[in-house]
C-alpha cells in the first residue's frame, strides 16, 4: 500500500516501450540500501544484475547531493523500466544537473548488459532531450563519451547529436544537439 502511494507521487515520462521515473532522494537511498524496497517503491522488478555499469556508489552519492534541492528532480537521473508487465528496470538516463548559464545541459546513460542493443538507450535519450528542450532555458544538450564506445556514439548519432570536438577530459569526445537543430 505504501509503495502504491509513493508511485503516485513520482514524476514519470513514457516513451513507446519505456517508463522513465525521475530519481528522488528516497529512491536513491533505497537503491543503495535495499533492492527489495526499491522494487516495491517503483512497482517494478529489479534484476539481479542491477545497477548498470557507470552507475555505482559514487554516482548515487553525487545524485543524492544534487537532490538535496527538490527542484533538481528531473535534472538528475531517471530510472528506465519496460512498460511490459511486470515492468523491469533496464537502466538509467539523465542529466548532470540543471543547464549552465549558456543553456547547456549534459546527458548520460547506462543500460544493463542484457538489455543493450535493443534501442532502450536511444529511446530514453530521445525522450529526455525532448523534456530538456521543453524548458525555455535549455539551448543545447551535450554528451561526452570515449571514442571506442561505438554503441554510445551510435545512440547519440541516432538522436541527431553531432561531434563538436574534444571533451572536458583527455581522450573524451563531445557531442551536442542544439535547439536550432530540431527546427
All structural domains of the chain: 2-182 (3.40.630.30)
Answer yes or no: is pLDDT of 3 > 70.
no
Q: 85-113: per-residue pLDDT in tens?
A: 889 999 999 999 999 999 999 999 999 99
Provide the pLDDT confidence category of residue 58 given band limits of 50, 70 and 90: confident
The H-or-E segment that residue 143 falls in is: strand 140-145
Q: Max Cα separation, the chain?
A: 50
| Nearest residue to 10 via CA among 87, 105, 123 | 87
Torsion angle defined by CA atoms of residues 129, 132, 135 and 137, in that order, rounded to the nearest 10 degrees: -100
- Would you state the cell numbers that stand for residue 34, as one nine-digit string? 535495499
Residues 158, 72: Cα–Cα separation, whole Å: 28
Higher pLDDT, 172 or 61: 172
Answer yes or no: is pLDDT of 9 > 50.
yes
> Mean pLDDT throughout 151-161?
97
Three-class secondary structure of residue 107 per DSSP:
strand
Residue 183: alpha-carbon gap to chain centroid: 24
Residues 140, 9: Cα–Cα separation, whole Å: 29
- The answer, as to whether pTM is greater than 0.85, is yes
Answer yes or no: is pLDDT of 57 > 50.
yes
Amino acid at each position: 500500500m505504501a509503495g502504491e502511494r509513493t508511485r503516485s507521487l513520482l514524476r514519470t515520462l513514457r516513451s513507446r516501450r519505456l517508463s522513465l521515473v525521475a530519481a528522488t532522494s528516497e529512491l536513491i537511498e533505497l537503491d543503495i540500501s535495499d533492492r527489495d524496497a526499491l522494487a516495491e517503491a517503483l512497482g517494478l522488478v529489479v534484476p539481479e544484475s542491477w545497477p548498470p555499469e557507470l552507475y555505482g556508489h559514487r554516482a548515487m552519492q553525487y545524485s543524492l547531493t544534487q537532490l538535496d534541492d527538490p527542484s533538481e528532480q528531473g535534472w538528475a537521473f531517471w530510472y528506465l523500466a519496460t512498460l511490459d508487465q511486470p515492468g523491469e528496470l533496464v537502466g538509467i538516463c539523465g542529466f548532470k544537473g540543471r543547464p549552465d548559464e549558456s543553456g547547456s545541459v549534459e546527458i548520460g546513460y547506462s543500460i544493463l548488459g542484457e538489455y543493450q542493443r535493443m534501442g532502450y538507450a536511444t529511446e530514453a535519450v530521445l525522450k529526455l532531450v525532448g523534456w530538456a528542450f521543453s524548458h525555455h532555458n535549455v539551448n543545447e544538450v551535450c554528451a561526452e563519451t570515449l571514442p571506442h564506445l561505438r554503441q554510445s556514439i551510435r545512440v547519440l548519432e541516432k538522436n541527431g547529436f553531432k561531434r563538436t570536438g574534444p571533451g572536458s577530459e583527455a581522450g573524451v569526445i563531445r557531442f551536442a544537439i542544439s535547439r536550432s537543430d530540431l527546427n
